Structure 1
Amino acid sequence: MFDELTKKKHRIQDFVYSIPEHTPEELCQLIRDQNYIGQEKALRALCLMAFRHIRRLKKIYIDKIDPASLPKKQNCLLIGSTGCGKTYLVELLFKDLLKIPTAIVDITNYSETGYVGQDVSSIITRLLYASNYDPDLASVGIVCIDEIDKIASSNNSALFAGAGTTKDVTGFGVQRELLKMLESVEIPVSTEFGHSTYGNYFLISTRDIAFIGCGAFSGFKQISGRDTNNIIGFTRNVSLKELNKIAVNYSEAEIENTANFQSYGLLPELVGRFQRIIPFSALNIDEMAVILKKNVIDRYKNDFILDGIELVIKNSVIEYIAKKAIQKETGARGLESVLISHIEDLTFDAYSKKGVKKIVLELKNGEIKGRFH
C-alpha cells in the first residue's frame, strides 16, 4: 500500500514537472502562432488563468506548499456568440500547447440522475479517458463544459437557440449536480459511461481540476438590455434590433450582474462557482477575412494542388465572403459554408473538364465569377 502511494505521488510529480512553463505573454504568442485570430482581451484572460493553474500545481506538487495556504483553483465561464472561438481556444491552449489532460464535453448530452442520458459524474470519466485512464493525471486536468447555456431552466424567458433540447425536466437538475463538482470534492468515477452501478470506479478529487464553461447564451442580450427601472420597455441605449441580434458583444457590467444569469435560467450558486466570467466579442469583418484566408482557403488551395490545380482567390472575393458570413451571424463557422456555396459549381466543372490547371475567382458586378486556365 505504501509503495502504491509513493508511485502515485511520483507519477503526479513527474507529470506536473513536465508541464511547460510559459509566461502569460508567451502563451498568447504561442496561440497566435497557431493562427488564432482576434479576442485579445479574452486571450489574455485565459492565458493568465492557464499560467496561474500551472503555477498552482507546481507549488503544490513540486514545492510541497500546503494547498490551504494558496488561492483555490480558478474556474472560468466564457460567454460569446457562436463561432467566435471559445471552445477552440480552450482546446488549443490546454490540450495542444500545454498537453494537460483536457475533456471537452457537450453538456446537453447529460441528465439529472434518474433520467435518460449520461450521468453528470461521467464528465470526469471523459477526463479519465483523456488521461489514458490514469486517475492521478485526471485529478490535475481541465474540463470544458461546452454549451453550458443550454442547461438553463425551462423558466428562462429569453428565446435562445437550443431551447427545449435538454433532457432535464426542470432545467435545474444538471445544474445542481454540477455545483459540488466545480468545488473541491471526491467523486466516485466510473470507468464506463452511463448510469450503470456496476464496473470499476476510481475516487477522484476535483480540488485541482479547473472547469471552463462555454456558451453562446443566445437571448442573453434580451435580458441584460432590459431597463430594470421600467418593466414595460427596453433601455434607451439599446435598440430592439440590437437585442435580437445573435452575434453580439457584452460589457463587463452585463456579465458581472448575476441577476441577469438568474433571469436567463442559471442558478446563482452555479454562476458563483466561476470566479471569472470572460466575454468574447463577435468577430469583425477584418478578423473574418484573416480566418477565411489562413484557416479555410489555404486548406482548399492545398487540396487543389494535390490534384494538380492552382486555386487563386482575389482579395475582393475574400472580403465579399467575409461580409456574407457576418450576415449569417454564425461567426467563423459560417465562412466555409459561404465559400462552398459560391465555388461549388466552379469546382464541379473544374474536376469534370480535362486540362484545367488553374482556377481564378474574382468579383464582377457584385458576384463571384470564375475562370479556368
Structure 2
Amino acid sequence: MITPSCAQWALQLQDRCSSPGVWPRERDGSLLTVQLVKYLEEFVIGQENAKKVLSVAVFNHYNRVRANLAASEDQPDAQGWINSSDVRLGVTPAQIHPHPQRLAPPHLPVQHRQTSPLFEKSNVLVIGPTGSGKTLLARTLARVLDVPFSVSDATSFTQAGYVGEDVEMAIQRLLQAANWDPARASTGIVYIDEVDKIARKAGGTGMEGSRDVGGEGVQQALLRMMEGSVVTVQGKSSGLEPPPSAAGEGRSRPGTRGQSQTPPRPDTYNIDTSNVLFILSGAFVGLDNVVKRRVAKGSIGFTATLAPKEDETDSGGLLPFFTPNRRSSHNILDLVEPSDIVKYGFIPEFISRLPSVTTLAPLTIPDLRRILTEVRGSLVSQYTALFGYSGVEIRFTSAALDQICRKASERGGGARGLRGIMELLLLEPMYEVPGSTVRYVLINEEVVLGKKPAMYWSRGEGPAFWAAWTNEEQLTPSQ
C-alpha cells in the first residue's frame, strides 16, 4: 500500500486551510499554493518570499512524489526491454540476454513504452535572524499538512560513533510521526533547525589532524540522506509488546504454545529518503559580512572606499547578544550565493543538495505590532486569556502597545523580544492579582515606561475602568 496520492493530499489541504465554499472548483497548483500562503499569513507576519518558496516547494514535492511513485509502479514491466532505437543501430546492452518473448516488437513505437521521467526533489534552506519566524513557519506547515513531519535540532548531531545523536535520528522521528509506517514516512518532510551550527570549524585547537565530528562530519553524514538513500533506523523495541495472556495459552494450537498470535514488530526499518523533503534553517550569524565583502567594489587611491572590518558593529567592536531588528532599505542576505555559504563553513557537496535558498528579513516595528495583536495566538490574546482564568480583565492602550514594540525593536531578538518585555512588564500584576479583589487591570504608556505601576480596579468598578481606558485612547493621537 503506497502513500495517498497528491489529489487526496490536496483535498485534505483544502479542508484544513479554508472554510467550505471558499475554494474554486479548479484545484490547480497555483490555487493550492496561494491558499497555503494565506494560511501561513494567519500565523507568520511578513516574510512573503519565504512563504511563497516553502509553499511552492511543498506542493511541487508531492507532485514529484506522485509522479515518481507512478513511474516506480511501471518500472518492473519495462525492465529487460531493449530500446528499439538501439536495435536499429545494431547496438545492444552488454551482458543482457532477455527472454525472446520479452523483446520489443519492432512495429510498436518507442513512446508507448517510455515511462515518465523521475523528478528530483528541491530541498530548501531558510536563512534569517533569530526571532524572524523560521521555526514558526515549520510548525505551521506541520499543522496544516496531513503528512509525516519531524523537527530536529542540528546542534546535537555528531558523526557516527561519537557522543551525541546520529543524523539517522531525524528519520527515526519522521517514522514516529508516521505511526511507524515506512511507506508513509518515505514521503514525509524533515525539518532541521540550527543547521548553521554544523558549519566547518576553522582553527580551534590548532591540531591539523583533528576531526570535526560536530561540523564537517555531520555534513558528510547528511549528504546521501538528503539526496536519497536507504536509511536503517531502529523501531519500537520488541520487549515493549504485551506478553500473551495465560487464558489464551490453554486454547492454543499444538506447536504454538506460549507464542503471541500477533507477529512482533520488527526491530529495524529501511526508509528510502528519495521522496523525503528536507527543510533546513539557521540564523547564520556573520554571513552578512561574507556577502558584504563579496559585493563591495574595491578601489585604489586616497579617496578609496574601504569595506568595513568583520568586527565593526554598532556595539563598539563587540557582537550584540541579540540580532538587531533594524533593517536597511534592502536585506543584504537576499544577495547570498552558494559561494558565500561555502566560505561560511559548508562543503560544496552539502550546499549542492540545497538548490532552493530563501532568506528572512528582520522584523520592523509595524511587523512587531501585528505580531503583538493581530496574528492567531498573539501575545495580547495569550495574556488576556491567562488573566481571564483568574477572573481578571486586562486591557492595553494603543500608546502602550506602540511603546512595547519600540522597546522590543531596540532590544532585538525579533518576536522573542516581545515576550521578554511582556513578562517583565506584567510581572507585578501576575504576582498581585491572583487571589485578590482586583478584577480589572489597565496598562498604559507610563506603565510601560516604568513611571508608575499598573492600575487596578475591584469588582463593581467596571464603569470606572472602561472610562479610564477610553480617556487614554482619546489622548492618543490618531495615526
SS class of match (1:26): helix
Instruction: Work out the CA distance in 2 between the residues paired with 1:123 and 1:68.
Output: 31
Residues 1:372 and 2:456 are matched in the alignment:
yes
1:45 aligns with 2:53: yes
| Partner AA of 2:184 in structure 1 | L
The whole-number CA distance in structure 1 between the counterparts of 2:287 and 2:123 is: 21
Query: 1:162-214: CA deviations, max 9, x gaps?
Result: xxxxx954621001000111102112122269xxxxx8211111110000101
Q: Equivalent residue of 1:207, what SS?
A: helix
Q: 1:170 to 1:349 in 2, by over 3 A?
A: closer
Establish whether residue 360 from structure 1 lines up as the match of residue 407 from structure 2.
no
- Does 1:351 pair with 2:434? yes
Q: TM-score, normalised by structure 2?
A: 0.66
Tell me, in whole angstroms, the C-alpha distance in 1 between the residues paired with 2:286 and 2:415.
Answer: 20
How far 1:252 moved relative to its partner? 3.1
The aligned residue for residue 235 of structure 1 is 307
Residue 305 (structure 1) aligned with residue 385 (structure 2) = no
Counterpart amino acid of 1:108? T
Amino acid corresponding to residue 332 of structure 2 in structure 1: Y
Q: Does 1:17 align with 2:8?
A: yes
Asked if the contact 2:158–2:215 (Cα under 8 Å) also holds between the matched residues in 1, the reply is no
Partner of 1:27 in structure 2? 36
C-alpha distance in structure 2 between counterparts of 1:16 and 1:366, whole Å: 51
1:220-369 correspondence to structure 2 within 5 Å: 220-226=287-293, 235=307, 240-241=312-313, 246-247=323-324, 249-253=331-335, 255-256=336-337, 258-294=338-374, 295-351=378-434, 354-364=436-446, 367-368=449-450, 369=452
Q: Give the superposition deviation at 1:238.
A: 10
CA distance in 2, matches of 1:47, 1:14: 18
Q: What are the superposed Cα offsets for residues 270-315 of structure 1, whole Å, 9 maximum, x if unpaired?
A: 1111011100011111111111224111111012122111100111
For residue 221 of structure 2, give the secondary structure of its aligned residue in structure 1.
Answer: helix
Give structure 1 stretches of 5+ with no counterpart.
Answer: 1-7, 158-166, 194-198
CA distance in 2 between partners of 1:230 and 1:41 (Å): 31
Cα distance change of structure 1 residues 172 and 330 upon mapping to structure 2, 3 Å threshold? same
Aligned length: 345
What is the aligned partner in structure 2 of residue 151 from structure 1? 198
- Aligned counterpart in structure 1 of residue 64 of structure 2, from 38, 56, 59: 56
Matches of 1:365 and 1:126, distance apart in 2: 46
**Mapping of residues 157-196 of structure 1, within 5 Å:** 168-169=212-213, 171-191=215-235
Residue 272 (structure 2) aligns with: 205
Matched residue SS, 2:126: strand
Higher alpha-carbon Rg: 2
Shift of the 192–175 alpha-carbon distance from structure 1 to 2, 3 Å rule, reads: farther
Q: Secondary structure at the match of 1:348?
A: helix
Which of 37, 56, 75 is the matching residue for 2:123? 75
Q: How far off is 1:88 after superposition?
A: 1.2
Give deviations 1:43-78, integer Å, cap 9, x for gaps.
111111111112222334468687961431110000
SS at match of 1:55: helix
* Matched AA of 1:144: Y
Residues 170 and 332 of structure 1, relative CA distance in 2, 3 Å threshold: closer
- State the alpha-carbon separation in 1 of the partners of residues 424 and 162 from structure 2: 41
Compared with structure 1, are the counterparts of its residues 45 and 155 closer, same or farther at alpha carbon in structure 2 (3 Å cutoff)? same
Q: Could you say what the CA RMSD is over the residues aligned between the two structures, in angstroms?
A: 3.1
**Quick check: which one's strand share is greater?**
1
Q: Shift of residue 15 of structure 1?
A: 8.5
Where structure 2 has 5 or more consecutive residues not aligned to the other structure, the ranges are: 14-30, 76-114, 205-210, 238-265, 458-479
Decide whether the 8 Å contact of 2:67 with 2:119 is kept in 1.
no
Residues 128, 282 of structure 2: 8 Å contact kept: yes
CA distance in 2, matches of 1:286, 1:348: 30
1:174 is paired with a residue whose SS is helix
User: What whole-Å deviation, never above 9, does each CA across 1:326-371 have from its counterpart, x for those lacking one?
Assistant: 223211112111111112123322236x321100000129715420
Aligned-residue sequence identity (percent) comes to 28
Task: Output the amino acid matched with 1:87.
Answer: T
Q: TM-score, normalised by structure 1?
A: 0.83
